[in-house]
Amino acid sequence: MSFVLKRSELDQLVTVLREDGYQVYGPVVVDRAIRYRRIDSIDELAIGVRDVQGPGRYSLVERADDAIFGHTVGVTSLKDLFFPPRRAVWTAARDGDSYRFEPAAPTGARVAVIGARSCELAAMSIHDTVLLGGEYVDADYEARRKAGFIVSIDCTEPGEVCFCASMGTGPGADGGFDLAMTELRVDGGWEYVGRYGTQRGEAILERVEHRVPDQIEIGQARSAVSAAAGAMGRELTVTGLPEFLASHRQHPSWADIADRCLACGNCTQACPTCFCVSTIDTSSLDGATMTHDVRWDSCFSLDFSFMGGRPQRASIDARYRQWLTHKLSGWVEQFGSSGCVGCGRCITWCPVGIDFTAEIPRMMERIDG
Amino acid sequence: MGKPSLAVWKFASCDGCQLSLLDLEDRLLDIAEAVDIAHFPEASTAHADGPYTVSLVEGSITTPRDADRIRAVRHQSELVVAIGACATAGGIQALRNLADSDEFVRTVYATPTYIDSLATSTPISDHIEVDIELRGCPVSKIQLLDVVGALLAGRKPDLPTYPVCIECKARGVSCVMVAGGIACLGPITQAGCGAICPAYDRGCYGCFGPAETVNVASLAWQWRELGIEDEALVRSLRTFNTAAPAFAAASAAIEDR
Ligand code: SF4
Ligand code: SF4
Ligand code: SF4
Ligand code: SF4
């Protein structure tokens, strides 16, 4: 089942979602980069811009056309919306000589995202496994996920740091969306050739003017996406990679990378799958109330491995190795997939441009050579 | 049991950190409710003698008299919290540690003999045992309030030692260095400010001093890539936290190269 929207109809979709009480988010240019931000209309989206990304580099340039989704992933990801940087887990209030503990009230927010990319859907499905798949369920994440609505956009112009094709996570979305679309230039205008992911998606789209695409349009959309698969800016060979990293905990490259690594944690914070947090307690001055929050943390922070009276990963080598081997090796054992979806954020947003798609082949060569 | 008492002391400083305390406005009333403010010259001339439960100390030690005075503060205080870059690293006035302070005195003052100052500006922890340090020029109001709350509740204050970058990303700010080519000290500077400068499209000035891990050599390399000379990095390291050991060592190492 599929549909086509004109640009004005895409705007209607935003209106319908807002009528249903969704806070609608989409890729917007804020300061110098694209990030997810709340929108009231598609006019606010990052129209007519393209992002130029590279190791430690990011800039926006004007496009020759006014495509809405003519860019790749921004600095923030769905993680920022569904697994926010800080939130309460429980609160406590004084009750006589004791305290009464309450789980934090679940967020009432219903978030709809327009323009999520397939790598991000893959990252979210990884979060589903990590945060909902085990014995302990993250109730806040679960509530946000259940309430969320996802409109995904296929990528037709991958960027310089993209390698979703290597990771099997893109450039077109297979699932994890309510609606998915491909933006196509047709006769000087724009068409959004779409498909349904859920019944909820179908029900929403019923209230938006649309028509049924012909086979030519569906074919055009498919071939734009498959052409994109061959235009990735980077690649990563994943066969044997988990085993390679697991068996090279001692390798001269770790120290070389550590010379450049700032242990700043930007890679983990920008990564859409990193889920590590620490806990913080706050209390009112009179001691009547307390709050227990979780806040994003990183395996690059020293406190993160504080055990037995000292940080277990004191050197930058050890911390970089933890990040990379967890992401690309330990993750497979732990959660049944790689922890990387090939979005390239850790490459772009590393202030010194450390790029593991270049480091890993170099490491392998050093062993072979 | 009486209320805990709080004293605020000033050493060589600009009063900015004490102002941050005053700037808590409505929350200040909650503080006054929770503790007896025994000594706070910036706010009131009233003074109650010690001992004090908590002393907040602003400023660095720059005179022999202050070196004695800070020991007296320690004797009267159960807990000492050093607040701000001056108290935790010697402040901007520690630039004199790198120069001939006698020469400054001779140049500036008509009667140099009236001046009785030390050759260096040093943090409080060089003189007495300090229980908690709050970084920043000025300190973060949120951290200040949190520390008072933590001490009252007997819990751990929330003072992360990781770099500003972590707060930058948590705030959804992209990165002024990556997206703007602007020099930023965030990767080597301790968090706590909430990434104020990058949120206003400026590079971090390093006012919270060195983060738990600093790799200045790599940052210098990146700044050079952005067309910023080492000399500028040395100057950036020699501001509010010039004498903080990690910054002092790094700026000296770059200069020696
Ligand atoms: S490891 Fe890097 S490329 Fe992979 S998902 Fe995370 S940020 Fe994206
Ligand atoms: S790479 Fe580091 S921050 Fe990311 S999930 Fe693994 S341990 Fe956590
Ligand atoms: S790899 Fe880059 S982004 Fe990650 S901690 Fe090191 S310097 Fe920071
Ligand atoms: S702007 Fe500065 S503090 Fe923020 S991520 Fe970039 S380097 Fe770090």
Domain boundary among B119, B153, B187: B153
CA B237 centroid distance within chain: 14
CA distance from start to end of chain B? 60
Cis before B187? omega within 30: no
- Residue B78 is predicted with a pLDDT of 97
Distance, CA of B21 to CA of B141 (rounded, Å): 7
B92 and B135 both lie in a single domain: yes
The pick from A262, A340, A348 for probing ligand 3's pocket by mutation, whose C-beta has the most ligand atoms within 8 angstroms, reads A262
CA nearest to B105, candidates B67, B63, B59: B63
Q: Which of A93-97, A321-325, B19-23, B252-256 has the highest mean pLDDT?
A: A321-325
Distance, CA of B213 to CA of A300 (rounded, Å): 9
Q: How far is A46 from chain B (nearest CA, A)?
A: 15
Show residues of chain B in contact with A80, CB under 8 Å. Answer: 172
B145 and B177 both lie in a single domain: no
Quickly count: other Cβ atoms within 10 Å of residue A209's Cβ: 11
Residue type, A235: E
CA nearest to A268, candidates A228, A299, A238: A299
Distance, CA of B114 to CA of B110 (rounded, Å): 9
CB B121 within 8 A of CB B62: yes
Token duo for residue A195: 């498909």
User: Has residue B159 been placed in a domain?
Assistant: no
- Ligand 1 site residues (CB inside 6 A) read A 270-273, 327, 340-346
B168 and B90 both lie in a single domain: no
Nearest to B215 among A57, A86, A261 (CB): A261
B21 and B90 both lie in a single domain: yes
User: Has residue B60 been placed in a domain?
Assistant: yes
Q: Where are the domains of chain A?
A: 2-229, 241-368
- Residue B43 is predicted with a pLDDT of 87
CB A214 within 8 A of CB A189: no
In the reported structure, the alpha carbon of residue B93 is separated from the centroid of ligand 3 by a whole-number distance in angstroms of 33
- Residue B26 is predicted with a pLDDT of 83
Q: How far is B30 from chain A (nearest CA, A)?
A: 7
B149 and B172 both lie in a single domain: no
Residue type, A102: E
Which letter does DSSP use for residue A131 in this model?
A: I
In the reported structure, the alpha carbon of residue A288 is separated from the centroid of ligand 3 by a whole-number distance in angstroms of 41
Distance, CA of A50 to CA of A52 (rounded, Å): 7
CB B117 within 8 A of CB B65: no
Residue type, B250: A
Domain boundary among B153, B184, B199: B153
Q: Which residues, at least 6 apart from B32, have a Cβ–Cβ distance to it below 8 Å?
A: none
B147 and B117 both lie in a single domain: yes
Is the predicted ipTM greater than 0.85, yes or no? yes
User: Has residue B113 been placed in a domain?
Assistant: yes
Q: How do residues B124-170 score in pLDDT, each as one tens digit? A: 999 999 999 999 999 999 999 999 999 998 999 999 999 999 999 99
Query: Backbone phi, then psi, for A276, in 5-degree steps?
Result: -75, 140
**Could you tell me what percent of chain B has a pLDDT over 90?**
85
Coil, helix or strand for A310? strand
Establish if A86 touches chain B: CB-CB under 8 angstroms: yes
Nearest to A302 among B161, B168, B178 (CB): B161
Cα Rg, chain A, nearest whole Å: 22
Q: Which ligand 3 atom is nearest residue A349's CA?
A: 3
In the reported structure, the alpha carbon of residue A109 is separated from the centroid of ligand 1 by a whole-number distance in angstroms of 27
Q: How far is B211 from chain A (nearest CA, A)?
A: 9
Q: What pLDDT band is residue B1 in, cutting at 50, 70 and 90?
A: low
Instruction: Report the number of secondary-structure helices (H) and strands (E) in chain B.
Output: 12, 5
Q: How many residues make up chain A in this entry?
A: 369
CA nearest to A48, candidates A7, A3, A5: A7
Quickly count: other Cβ atoms within 10 Å of residue A80's Cβ: 21
Domain that holds residue B143: 5-153
H helix or E strand, kind and range, residue A140: helix A139-147
CB A43 within 8 A of CB A143: no
User: Has residue B108 been placed in a domain?
Assistant: yes
- Residue B44 is predicted with a pLDDT of 86
The bridge status of strand A306-307 relative to strand A310-311 is antiparallel
Q: Taking CA atoms, what residue in B is nearest to A29?
A: B174
- Residue A1 is predicted with a pLDDT of 67
Nearest to A296 among B31, B170, B176 (CB): B170
B132 and B229 both lie in a single domain: no
**pLDDT averaged per 10 residues, chain A (length 369):** 94 98 97 96 98 98 97 97 96 95 88 98 98 94 96 97 97 96 94 97 98 95 96 96 96 97 98 97 92 97 94 97 98 97 98 98 84
Q: What pLDDT band is residue B50 in, cutting at 50, 70 and 90?
A: confident
Coil, helix or strand for A201? helix
Question: Does ligand 4 come within 6 angstroms of the Cβ of B7?
Answer: no
Residue type, A148: G
* pLDDT surpasses 80 at B64: yes
CB B189 within 8 A of CB B212: no
Token duo for residue B123: 């943090």
B48 and B132 both lie in a single domain: yes
The label of the residue with tokens 């369920």 reads A137
Taking each helix axis from N to C end, the angle separating B245-256 and B216-225, rounded to the nearest 10 degrees, works out to: 60
Return the ligand number nearest the Cα of A349. 3
Return the ligand number nearest the Cα of B171. 4
Q: Which ligand 3 atom is nearest residue A260's CA?
A: 7
Distance, CA of A69 to CA of A357 (rounded, Å): 26
Task: Look up the CATH number of the domain holding residue B112.
Answer: 3.40.50.700
User: Has residue B137 been placed in a domain?
Assistant: yes
B144 and B243 both lie in a single domain: no
Q: How far is B1 from chain A (nearest CA, A)?
A: 15
Q: What is the mean pLDDT of residues B80-95?
A: 97
Question: Does ligand 4 come within 6 angstroms of the Cβ of B206?
Answer: no
Token duo for residue B190: 């301790």
Domain boundary among B153, B177, B198: B153
B85 and B193 both lie in a single domain: no
Q: How do residues B179-224 score in pLDDT, each as one tens digit? A: 999 999 999 999 999 999 999 999 999 999 999 999 999 999 999 9
In the reported structure, the alpha carbon of residue A257 is separated from the centroid of ligand 3 by a whole-number distance in angstroms of 10
Query: Backbone phi, then psi, for A225, in 5-degree steps?
Result: -75, -40
Q: Taking CA atoms, what residue in A is nearest to B180?
A: A32
Q: What is the mean pLDDT of residues B173-177?
A: 95
Interface of A with B in 224-283 (CB under 8 A): 259-266, 269-270, 280-283
Show residues of chain A in contact with B145, CB under 8 Å. Answer: 285
CB B182 within 8 A of CB B176: yes
Q: Give me the number of domains chain B comprises.
A: 2
CA nearest to B20, candidates B133, B138, B195: B138
* pLDDT surpasses 80 at B97: yes
CB contact under 8 A, A303 and B153: no
Distance, CA of A316 to CA of A79 (rounded, Å): 26
